[in-house]
Amino acid sequence: MSEQALRERIQDIPDPCSCATGVPLGIGEMGLIESVKRTDGEVTVRLHITSPMCMMAAYFMREIEQRLLAVDGVTTVNVEFDQELKWTPQDIEPGARQRLADKRITMLGGRLLPRDGARPPRS
């Protein structure tokens, strides 16, 4: 299975912060998946977190491991978290940001959502 197919298996894992707003988004829509790498039977998923106080790391790890270990040929799953806190609300997919705006949600993960919907380039 390709790295893109593995990413697709985990992208709809619900993000609890968005669920709390009443506009549930998957971790893919939230822009939390930094990378998915596969070397033989080992898969490494690197995730962003929305806040240094995020308490969902264990939940994300469990969900990702369960979904990916069910794939033929995957024997090990490593989940790493971005300690630099690179995630910003601009990383949310534009359609998902619009759904949040339609419900008048202005903050997520303790951060203000952008109004213009533009996603700045990553450096």
- Find the helix or strand (DSSP H, E) in which 58 lies: helix 57-69
| Assigned domain for 112 exists | no
| Assigned domain for 81 exists | yes
Per-residue pLDDT tens for 62-95? 999 999 999 999 999 999 998 888 898 899 999 9
**Domain limits at 33?**
3-106
Per-residue pLDDT tens for 99-122? 998 988 888 777 788 776 445 445
Specify whether the CB–CB gap between 91 and 82 falls below 8 A: no
Distance from C-alpha of 122 to C-alpha of 78, rounded to nearest angstrom: 24
| Assigned domain for 121 exists | no
Specify whether the CB–CB gap between 9 and 67 falls below 8 A: yes
| Assigned domain for 69 exists | yes
- Structural domain tally of the chain? 1
| Assigned domain for 123 exists | no
| Assigned domain for 46 exists | yes
Residue 64 belongs to domain with CATH number: 3.30.300.130
Report field, pTM of the whole predicted structure over 0.75? yes
